[in-house]
Amino acid sequence: MKIPSKEQCYQLIHETGMMDHIAVHSIQVCRVAMLITEKIVSFFPELNQDLINASALLHDITKTKSLETGEKHAQSGELLLTDMGYPEVGYIVGQHVRLARYQNSDDLVEAEIVNYADKRVTHDKITSLSKRMDYIMDIYGKTPEHKMRIKELGKRTKKLEDKIFEHIRFSPDKIDDLLEPIENSDLYISFMKHI
């Protein structure tokens, strides 16, 4: 499996002209995903941490472009990364808005962690799942059908949150306290040095 390194992810972020606030959002999502992974990997040792790291950093790789083109950025991100020779990363990016399968089984896969982490970060701020879903509803809930789909997505993601936190000793609202302020984080510092 080919997974881009952190430096390659940064390079791609720059090359594609990602807007700064989307880059910072991506770093935050990555930090949340890696914190969860660190706390849960002993229960799910098959989780690939490098894969989670790269997929979280690159999950919005086509978002900037999508603001102009109106394309579905999860799908176009998947295509781009698959074309670049990273199909496994692409597969996870393709599911960051909505998972291909929501399951209550005891299994936990990389795509679920990245998807959940993205539902905990609004712009660069770590927020509760319900606040993030309220934001998604405000922005994307344009029609009754969209509203219903977003409500359903919120319910499914809540079940995912319950599944993840069954194994973690702290509650979902403690994520913010457990992370260093973003300005002090290694990921942010090395990203800023890179640009």
Binding region for Fe ion (CB under 5 A): 60
Of 42 and 62, the one with the shorter C-beta distance to Fe ion is: 62
Of 154 and 168, the one with the shorter C-beta distance to Fe ion is: 154
Question: Could you tell me the smallest distance in angstroms from the CB atom of residue 46 to Fe ion?
Answer: 26
In sequence order, which residues have a C-beta less than 8 Å from that of residue 59 and are 6 or more positions away?
A: 26, 29, 74, 77, 92, 93, 96, 114, 118
Of 60 and 110, the one with the shorter C-beta distance to Fe ion is: 60
Question: Could you tell me the smallest distance in angstroms from the CB atom of residue 97 to Fe ion?
Answer: 6
Residue number with the smallest Cβ distance to Fe ion: 60
Of 60 and 112, the one with the shorter C-beta distance to Fe ion is: 60
Question: Could you tell me the smallest distance in angstroms from the CB atom of residue 72 to Fe ion?
Answer: 10
Question: Could you tell me the smallest distance in angstroms from the CB atom of residue 26 to Fe ion?
Answer: 9
Residue 112 to residue 102: CA distance in whole angstroms: 9
Give 56-110 as a DSSP string.
HHHTTTTHHHHHHH---HHHHHHHHHHHTT-HHHHHHHTTSSS-S----SS---H
In sequence order, which residues have a C-beta less than 8 Å from that of residue 64 and are 6 or more positions away?
A: 16, 17, 18, 19, 22
Of 37 and 64, the one with the shorter C-beta distance to Fe ion is: 64
First to last CA, the chain: 28
Residues 147/58, Cβ–Cβ less than 8 Å: no
Strand partners, 56: none
Question: Could you tell me the smallest distance in angstroms from the CB atom of residue 164 to Fe ion?
Answer: 19
Question: Could you tell me the smallest distance in angstroms from the CB atom of residue 54 to Fe ion?
Answer: 15
Residue 36 to residue 29: CA distance in whole angstroms: 11
Of 60 and 78, the one with the shorter C-beta distance to Fe ion is: 60
